[in-house]
Structure 1
């Protein structure tokens, strides 16, 4: 269960880090916002100046043309700023998605196969424990397994193998419980 909680925590951390990276990348869009805002403001001011210049008698149209051209160029700056922001947003979104997908897949690849293997083994051991004569087989599994499992148990007179051969139900139950505990299942 600790490994499962660790995997979930790693996935949550991965998502948090990906969104933190996204927010950091989005800071790069601020200059684009300033260019867009400045471009719109300049275009509006030049447009207003052109409109005011057109009211000058005799030369109004001549004065309005360069101001209107400058206003159009300023609108181009605003469009460039907006385009820059869109590009930064796309880069941030792709980076965030890639981080989440790659890192979560890596975590799942490292966590899921051992977890599925444990589930398969625990189902087999649980079925074996519930089957007739299953406790005997689990006890034999403990006897044939690592000696460290037996060292932790109180040794019966004559040893575990002798008690198992005699069919000592108390020893068989102890050995069977040890096999369940070794698999991660509580007896």
Structure 2
């Protein structure tokens, strides 16, 4: 199985197409990561809420511990301060939940962008490459088969007229020479058919 053409022009075009596909995939990944980073900026308020809730809970917890040392009313003062500290913990948890949601959205968005971008690049790049690989394998098999050169010559005769300019026509024309099984003409025409596919005999 041949992955690249043997003729220089076709091979250069194939390599260029491969490089463009790689660059497009890399650009898509970079863009997706940039979008991810931008979305993650929305998690900043959640971080602030989590920090504020943590500080509030810690401060109220310390105040409750200090209030419990007050004689007679220490237990009464400690309870509301502990309740307020628990509310601060709830606020901190809400900030963490907000960050988690933003992180999930950022990850899913980046993955979706990468997936669909790579899918689009593959849809444009892969089918022509697979078609060429299959066609080159078919032509190579045809050339190796008995009578394959005749079929390749016929393919060249029925192809674009411009490609036949490389073959010097004998008296009576190329088609007549092919019908007479002129070996030189068949060889020249089969070379033309292979050259159109980017192959050499």
* Count of aligned residue pairs for this structure pair: 186
Q: Does 1:175 align with 2:186?
A: no
Q: Does 1:45 align with 2:77?
A: no
Tell me how large the CA RMSD over aligned residues is. Answer: 2.2
Deviations 1:136-186 (A, max 9, x none): 2212211110112123x1534434334434544333323212211211323
Contact 2:167 2:188 in 1 (8 A): no
Higher relative contact order (CA 8 A, sep 6+): 2
The correspondence for 1:90, drawn from 104, 111, 119, is: 104
Q: TM-score, normalised by structure 1?
A: 0.85
Deviations 1:109-158 (A, max 9, x none): 3333333332222222111111122222212211110112123x153443
Residue 175 of structure 2 is matched in structure 1 by 161
Unmatched segments (≥5 aa) in structure 2: 1-13
Q: TM-score, normalised by structure 2?
A: 0.80
Q: Does 1:140 align with 2:154?
A: yes
Contact 2:28 2:118 in 1 (8 A): yes
Unmatched segments (≥5 aa) in structure 1: none
Judge which range, 48-57 or 168-177, deviates more: 168-177
